[in-house]
A = this chain, B = another copy of it.
Amino acid sequence: MLEYHKSIATSNDSHTKEAVSLVESYPRVPLTVDCVIFGFDEKALKVLVIKSDLAQYTGKYSLLGAHVKSNEDLANAAHRVLLERTGMKDVYLEQVHSFGRPDRHPGGRVVTTVYASLLNVKHHALSITDHELNWHHVDQITEMAFDHKEILDTCVRWLQKRIQEHPLAFNLLPKKFSLRQLQNVYEAILNSKMDRRNFRKKFAAMGYLIDTNEMEVHVTHRPGKLYTFDFEGYEQRKKNGIGIDF
Protein backbone atom coordinates (compact mmCIF):
# COMPACT_ATOMS: atom_id res chain seq x y z
CA MET A 1 0.00 0.00 0.00
CA LEU A 2 2.78 2.31 0.92
CA GLU A 3 4.59 1.31 -2.24
CA TYR A 4 1.51 2.06 -4.29
CA HIS A 5 1.10 5.54 -2.88
CA LYS A 6 4.71 6.23 -3.30
CA SER A 7 4.70 5.26 -6.93
CA ILE A 8 1.73 7.56 -7.57
CA ALA A 9 3.51 10.38 -5.84
CA THR A 10 6.67 9.77 -7.77
CA SER A 11 4.78 9.62 -10.99
CA ASN A 12 3.00 12.90 -10.23
CA ASP A 13 6.28 14.53 -9.31
CA SER A 14 7.88 13.52 -12.53
CA HIS A 15 4.89 14.78 -14.47
CA THR A 16 5.02 18.10 -12.68
CA LYS A 17 8.75 18.37 -13.23
CA GLU A 18 8.29 17.76 -16.92
CA ALA A 19 5.57 20.41 -17.14
CA VAL A 20 7.52 22.91 -15.08
CA SER A 21 10.65 22.54 -17.13
CA LEU A 22 8.61 22.95 -20.31
CA VAL A 23 7.15 26.20 -19.04
CA GLU A 24 10.54 27.34 -17.86
CA SER A 25 11.82 26.96 -21.39
CA TYR A 26 9.31 29.58 -22.66
CA PRO A 27 10.40 33.18 -23.17
CA ARG A 28 8.67 35.55 -20.79
CA VAL A 29 6.91 38.68 -21.83
CA PRO A 30 5.76 41.75 -19.89
CA LEU A 31 1.99 41.62 -19.72
CA THR A 32 -0.43 44.41 -18.90
CA VAL A 33 -4.17 44.92 -18.73
CA ASP A 34 -5.90 48.07 -19.89
CA CYS A 35 -9.41 49.08 -18.89
CA VAL A 36 -11.74 50.98 -21.18
CA ILE A 37 -14.42 52.26 -18.84
CA PHE A 38 -17.32 53.74 -20.72
CA GLY A 39 -19.58 56.01 -18.75
CA PHE A 40 -22.90 57.55 -19.47
CA ASP A 41 -23.83 60.95 -18.12
CA GLU A 42 -27.10 62.58 -19.00
CA LYS A 43 -26.99 62.14 -22.72
CA ALA A 44 -23.37 61.55 -23.63
CA LEU A 45 -21.07 58.58 -23.90
CA LYS A 46 -17.82 59.18 -22.08
CA VAL A 47 -14.69 57.23 -21.31
CA LEU A 48 -12.40 57.31 -18.32
CA VAL A 49 -8.81 58.25 -19.15
CA ILE A 50 -5.74 59.69 -17.46
CA LYS A 51 -2.81 61.76 -18.64
CA SER A 52 0.05 59.50 -19.61
CA ASP A 53 2.87 58.86 -17.16
CA LEU A 54 5.54 58.88 -19.81
CA ALA A 55 7.41 62.05 -20.75
CA GLN A 56 7.26 60.85 -24.33
CA TYR A 57 3.49 61.17 -24.32
CA THR A 58 3.21 64.33 -22.24
CA GLY A 59 -0.25 65.79 -22.48
CA LYS A 60 -1.69 62.76 -24.24
CA TYR A 61 -4.46 60.65 -22.80
CA SER A 62 -3.94 57.06 -21.82
CA LEU A 63 -6.17 54.21 -20.76
CA LEU A 64 -6.13 52.83 -17.23
CA GLY A 65 -3.52 50.12 -17.27
CA ALA A 66 -1.00 48.29 -15.20
CA HIS A 67 1.21 45.25 -15.39
CA VAL A 68 -0.19 41.84 -14.57
CA LYS A 69 1.43 40.27 -11.52
CA SER A 70 3.25 36.98 -11.89
CA ASN A 71 0.48 34.85 -10.57
CA GLU A 72 -2.53 37.01 -11.14
CA ASP A 73 -5.55 36.18 -13.23
CA LEU A 74 -6.10 38.63 -16.09
CA ALA A 75 -9.58 39.62 -14.95
CA ASN A 76 -8.30 40.13 -11.40
CA ALA A 77 -5.58 42.37 -12.67
CA ALA A 78 -8.15 44.47 -14.50
CA HIS A 79 -10.27 44.82 -11.37
CA ARG A 80 -7.19 45.72 -9.36
CA VAL A 81 -6.20 48.42 -11.84
CA LEU A 82 -9.62 49.92 -11.57
CA LEU A 83 -9.58 49.88 -7.80
CA GLU A 84 -6.09 51.35 -7.60
CA ARG A 85 -6.62 54.03 -10.18
CA THR A 86 -10.19 55.07 -9.52
CA GLY A 87 -11.32 53.55 -6.22
CA MET A 88 -14.13 51.69 -8.04
CA LYS A 89 -15.19 48.27 -6.81
CA ASP A 90 -17.59 45.68 -8.13
CA VAL A 91 -17.48 46.84 -11.70
CA TYR A 92 -18.50 44.32 -14.32
CA LEU A 93 -15.67 43.91 -16.81
CA GLU A 94 -15.51 41.96 -20.04
CA GLN A 95 -12.47 40.98 -22.03
CA VAL A 96 -12.41 42.53 -25.47
CA HIS A 97 -9.12 41.73 -27.19
CA SER A 98 -5.39 41.35 -26.69
CA PHE A 99 -2.90 43.59 -28.45
CA GLY A 100 0.59 42.31 -29.03
CA ARG A 101 2.40 44.27 -31.73
CA PRO A 102 6.05 44.14 -30.67
CA ASP A 103 6.48 47.89 -31.17
CA ARG A 104 3.33 49.06 -29.45
CA HIS A 105 5.19 50.31 -26.38
CA PRO A 106 8.26 52.55 -26.71
CA GLY A 107 9.88 50.81 -23.75
CA GLY A 108 9.94 47.43 -25.46
CA ARG A 109 7.71 44.50 -26.02
CA VAL A 110 4.52 44.58 -23.93
CA VAL A 111 1.40 42.56 -24.59
CA THR A 112 -1.84 43.94 -23.23
CA THR A 113 -5.24 42.42 -22.70
CA VAL A 114 -8.07 44.90 -22.78
CA TYR A 115 -11.17 44.85 -20.61
CA ALA A 116 -14.16 47.11 -21.01
CA SER A 117 -17.18 48.14 -19.01
CA LEU A 118 -20.13 50.45 -19.22
CA LEU A 119 -21.39 52.24 -16.14
CA ASN A 120 -23.12 55.32 -14.87
CA VAL A 121 -20.86 58.27 -14.15
CA LYS A 122 -23.09 59.34 -11.29
CA HIS A 123 -22.96 55.94 -9.55
CA HIS A 124 -19.21 55.84 -9.35
CA ALA A 125 -17.64 58.86 -7.76
CA LEU A 126 -13.96 59.12 -8.61
CA SER A 127 -12.32 58.85 -5.20
CA ILE A 128 -8.85 59.11 -6.74
CA THR A 129 -8.03 61.63 -9.41
CA ASP A 130 -4.28 61.25 -9.86
CA HIS A 131 -2.91 61.89 -13.32
CA GLU A 132 -5.96 64.02 -14.08
CA LEU A 133 -8.19 61.00 -14.13
CA ASN A 134 -11.46 62.10 -15.62
CA TRP A 135 -14.36 61.39 -17.93
CA HIS A 136 -14.11 62.64 -21.50
CA HIS A 137 -16.53 62.57 -24.38
CA VAL A 138 -15.60 59.59 -26.51
CA ASP A 139 -15.75 61.47 -29.78
CA GLN A 140 -13.60 64.31 -28.52
CA ILE A 141 -10.62 62.06 -27.95
CA THR A 142 -8.61 62.08 -31.12
CA GLU A 143 -5.12 61.27 -30.00
CA MET A 144 -3.80 59.00 -27.31
CA ALA A 145 -0.56 57.55 -26.00
CA PHE A 146 0.71 54.17 -27.25
CA ASP A 147 -1.83 52.40 -29.47
CA HIS A 148 -4.58 53.41 -27.10
CA LYS A 149 -6.64 55.21 -29.71
CA GLU A 150 -6.77 52.06 -31.78
CA ILE A 151 -7.77 50.15 -28.66
CA LEU A 152 -10.47 52.68 -27.84
CA ASP A 153 -11.88 52.46 -31.36
CA THR A 154 -12.00 48.69 -31.12
CA CYS A 155 -13.82 48.96 -27.81
CA VAL A 156 -16.37 51.45 -29.16
CA ARG A 157 -17.24 49.01 -31.94
CA TRP A 158 -17.37 46.22 -29.38
CA LEU A 159 -19.72 48.26 -27.20
CA GLN A 160 -22.04 49.13 -30.07
CA LYS A 161 -22.41 45.50 -30.96
CA ARG A 162 -22.59 44.30 -27.40
CA ILE A 163 -25.39 46.61 -26.32
CA GLN A 164 -27.59 45.35 -29.10
CA GLU A 165 -27.38 41.81 -27.83
CA HIS A 166 -26.92 42.11 -24.08
CA PRO A 167 -28.62 44.08 -21.33
CA LEU A 168 -25.56 46.24 -20.71
CA ALA A 169 -27.67 49.37 -20.59
CA PHE A 170 -29.34 48.33 -17.36
CA ASN A 171 -26.08 48.23 -15.47
CA LEU A 172 -25.78 51.92 -15.88
CA LEU A 173 -29.31 53.12 -15.38
CA PRO A 174 -30.80 53.60 -11.91
CA LYS A 175 -32.87 50.61 -10.71
CA LYS A 176 -35.97 52.53 -11.73
CA PHE A 177 -35.70 54.35 -15.01
CA SER A 178 -37.88 55.95 -17.64
CA LEU A 179 -38.03 54.83 -21.22
CA ARG A 180 -36.55 58.16 -22.20
CA GLN A 181 -33.42 57.42 -20.15
CA LEU A 182 -33.15 54.00 -21.76
CA GLN A 183 -33.51 55.45 -25.21
CA ASN A 184 -30.87 58.09 -24.45
CA VAL A 185 -28.40 55.31 -23.70
CA TYR A 186 -29.01 53.56 -27.00
CA GLU A 187 -28.92 56.77 -28.97
CA ALA A 188 -25.67 57.92 -27.38
CA ILE A 189 -23.91 54.61 -27.90
CA LEU A 190 -25.21 53.85 -31.36
CA ASN A 191 -24.92 57.46 -32.35
CA SER A 192 -28.34 57.66 -33.92
CA LYS A 193 -31.81 59.00 -33.34
CA MET A 194 -34.73 56.63 -32.96
CA ASP A 195 -38.47 56.90 -33.10
CA ARG A 196 -39.90 57.07 -29.59
CA ARG A 197 -42.97 54.96 -30.27
CA ASN A 198 -41.12 52.22 -32.08
CA PHE A 199 -38.45 52.14 -29.40
CA ARG A 200 -41.07 51.60 -26.71
CA LYS A 201 -42.84 48.92 -28.70
CA LYS A 202 -39.66 46.99 -29.27
CA PHE A 203 -38.72 46.91 -25.61
CA ALA A 204 -42.28 46.24 -24.53
CA ALA A 205 -42.38 43.27 -26.89
CA MET A 206 -39.23 41.75 -25.37
CA GLY A 207 -41.09 41.55 -22.09
CA TYR A 208 -38.22 42.38 -19.77
CA LEU A 209 -39.51 45.74 -18.56
CA ILE A 210 -41.53 45.73 -15.35
CA ASP A 211 -43.81 48.67 -14.71
CA THR A 212 -43.20 49.93 -11.16
CA ASN A 213 -46.38 52.00 -11.09
CA GLU A 214 -44.21 54.92 -10.12
CA MET A 215 -43.61 58.09 -12.05
CA GLU A 216 -40.80 60.54 -12.49
CA VAL A 217 -41.04 63.46 -10.06
CA HIS A 218 -39.93 67.09 -10.28
CA VAL A 219 -39.48 67.05 -14.01
CA THR A 220 -40.40 70.10 -15.99
CA HIS A 221 -42.71 68.17 -18.29
CA ARG A 222 -45.24 65.39 -18.07
CA PRO A 223 -43.70 62.72 -15.82
CA GLY A 224 -42.90 59.38 -17.39
CA LYS A 225 -43.50 55.92 -15.97
CA LEU A 226 -40.62 54.21 -14.21
CA TYR A 227 -39.63 50.67 -15.04
CA THR A 228 -37.23 48.05 -13.73
CA PHE A 229 -35.42 45.47 -15.82
CA ASP A 230 -36.39 41.86 -15.22
CA PHE A 231 -32.90 40.43 -14.81
CA GLU A 232 -34.30 37.16 -13.51
CA GLY A 233 -36.62 36.61 -16.44
CA TYR A 234 -33.82 37.57 -18.77
CA GLU A 235 -31.44 34.98 -17.32
CA GLN A 236 -34.15 32.33 -17.52
CA ARG A 237 -35.01 32.97 -21.10
CA LYS A 238 -31.42 33.47 -22.17
CA LYS A 239 -30.90 29.76 -21.54
CA ASN A 240 -33.50 29.05 -24.19
CA GLY A 241 -31.83 31.35 -26.63
CA ILE A 242 -34.17 34.30 -26.14
CA GLY A 243 -32.33 37.43 -25.18
CA ILE A 244 -32.03 41.04 -26.15
CA ASP A 245 -32.22 41.63 -29.83
CA PHE A 246 -32.26 45.26 -30.61
Which residue numbers of A lie inside 8 Å of B, CB to CB?
14-16, 18-32, 53-56, 67-75, 95, 97-98, 100-102, 105-111, 113
Contact = CB atoms under 8 A, between A and B. Distances in A.
Given A26-B32, A27-B68, A73-B102, 5 more contacts: A19-B54, A22-B54, A26-B67, A95-B97, A111-B113
Contacts of A97: 95
A152 to B, nearest CB: 18
Nearest to A110: B23
B67 A27 contact: yes
Given A56-B15, A98-B95, A108 B20 contact: yes
B107 A23 contact: yes
A95 B114 CA distance: 13
A141 to B, nearest CB: 22
Contacts of A69: 27
What is the interface of chain A mostly: helix, strand, loop, or mixed? mixed
A108 B28 CA distance: 12
Given A71-B102, A101-B73, A28 B26 contact: no
A12 to B, nearest CB: 8
9 contacts: A15-B54, A19-B56, A23-B105, A23-B108, A24-B108, A29-B68, A71-B109, A73-B102, A95-B98
The 9 A-B residue pairs whose C-beta atoms are closest, nearest first, are A19-B107, A28-B28, A23-B107, A74-B100, A26-B30, A26-B67, A15-B56, A19-B106, A23-B108
A115 to B, nearest CB: 10
B100 A54 contact: no
A69 B29 CA distance: 9
Contacts of A14: 55
A70 B14 CA distance: 28
A241 to B, nearest CB: 11
A112 to B, nearest CB: 10
Contacts of A24: 107-108
A97 B19 CA distance: 23
